[in-house]
Amino acid sequence: MTTDAVRSPADGLAHHPLVGRPGKVIALHLNYPSRIAQRGRAPAKPSYFLKPVTSLAADGGSVERPPGVELLAFEGEIALVIGRTARRVSREDAWAHVSAVTAANDLGVYDLRAADKGSNLRSKGGDGFTPLGPELLPAAELDPAGLRVRTWVNGEQVQDDSSGTVVFPFAELVSDLSQLITLEPGDVVLTGTPAGSSVVGPGDVVEVEVDEPGSGRSTGRLRTRVTEGAEPLPEFSAQPAVDDHQRAEAWGSREAAGLPEPFELTDEIRAKLEKVAVATLSAQLRKHGYNELSIDGVRTNKPGSKLIGRARTLRFVPGREDLFRSHGGGYNAQKRTFDSLGPGDVLVVEARGERGSGTVGDILALRAQVQGATGIVTDGGVRDYSAVAELEIPTFSNGPHPAVLGRKHVPWDNDITVACGGATVQPGDVIVGDDDGVLVIPPPLLDQILDAAIEQEAEEEWIAARVAEGAAVDGLYPLSGEWRRRYEAERAEEGSQ
């Protein structure tokens, strides 16, 4: 061990064989498959954020939860300590630049995430928000894929995972960072957290341990107690702000956060929607004051089929060569979205009504079908139109076009609010389509319109039968007067049988 120790304004990190004071603390967003599954998004490449050196703290210290916040979350992690300067090192040589491994707790306040817009400076950079320790393990004696990280809250184990499962191996992270950023002795790299991260409050004690099972090597437990802060943020600072999405992410799930589960499109609701025409649903929505829920300009490639499902969304921005080079190749937003579709999903694509290129082709449409999706809606074009039409699931589009995506579009982001065919669509909206077109139904409206739509269909079926018998439509359509009384009498008689 060297005699140098890492120091922060809040707590010193004594007994650590680090070379000088760290210049950088670099943290990885997502790495463990268990955590990625919780987040519902799979990173194509590693992405990082910086934590201030002043966030470092030692074993046995405390972390202050700022006044007025509710979502202080822990993240047990394996930390790498750089021992040799690394600049453009290869993956094969990168591990030799790591001096030691230790336990870390990547603490953060979800209430302040919105203020940082992804930088995490305030949400994860507070004093004491990166405890390290208590002991460091020599990296040269370790298998970087053979480490284990575990976390306890108040003595109950809540995290347990292996570095052998990570998407981005530790040496690859060091190599990747070194391509553009010189890593210097003492720098710390946090390698991501597994599932189990959740919220803690004043009085809770969080412990994190990293070990190499079977070897007896262990960092010991890194212990941090949560305390309540006394100094509120001044008015000129960004104030805490939370919503149910942040609560679910901080706690790890909606259930853990005590939130009701999102709307479920049950078999009973699906059966009712199967009976009702889109035109009838549109009429009922209009009666409730909703006139802008039609996705205009799209037509089905499978006449006679019904589309029912929950919206997943994908957004394309107008084509631009430099942006397509950075966002269009590899495992881009389009491919990631198709890979993440699940049973009952309908992919809704914002393509700005642009018909001058395809937005989906036969391979990705097949992928959607294999994943269990019930259909695709795009206000752009479709490549391989005939092959897509032969699939089991319907695709509603602006028509065929042979050009590839890059001619007009850049795949940008997914699972956000989008505009498709003049309608605003949010993830989770109910999508219903038939030969007349496609409707977007906010889930809370279903209870208000569905039974009324079924009744309207029954009424119109009865009216059509009378017209077929030769009756004039005056007073019959819509029902009024004597025709209304006759209809209600017949319905009552049917109900009593």
What value, to the nearest 5°, has the Cα angle with vertex 396 and ends 392 and 397?
A: 130
**What sign results for the dihedral spanned by CA atoms 84, 87, 93, 95?**
positive
Which stretches does DSSP call E strand in 9-165? 12-13, 25-28, 48-51, 56-57, 61-65, 72-73, 76-82, 98-105, 108-109, 130-138, 148-153, 156-162
| Kind plus residue range of the DSSP H or E element containing 239 | none
For residue 134, cis peptide bond before it (omega within 30 degrees of 0): yes
Query: How far apart are alpha carbons 100 and 142 in whole angstroms?
Result: 9
Query: How far apart are alpha carbons 320 and 467 in whole angstroms?
Result: 57
Token representation of residue 478: 């819509």
Contact 394, 375 (CB under 8 A): yes
Query: How far apart are alpha carbons 176 and 121 in whole angstroms?
Result: 22
229 is in an annotated binding site: no
383 is in an annotated binding site: yes
DSSP, res 140: G
Which residue type sits at 164?
A: G
The backbone torsions φ and ψ at residue 467, rounded to the nearest 5 degrees and listed phi first, read: -65, -40
296 is in an annotated binding site: no
What value, to the nearest 5°, has the Cα angle with vertex 182 and ends 179 and 187?
A: 125
364 is in an annotated binding site: yes
320 is in an annotated binding site: no
Give the 3-state secondary structure of residue 81.
strand
Token representation of residue 143: 């298998």
295 is in an annotated binding site: no
Q: Residues within the annotated binding site for Mg(2+)?
A: 384
Q: Residues within the annotated binding site for substrate?
A: 361-364, 383
Q: Residues within the annotated binding site?
A: 361-364, 383-384
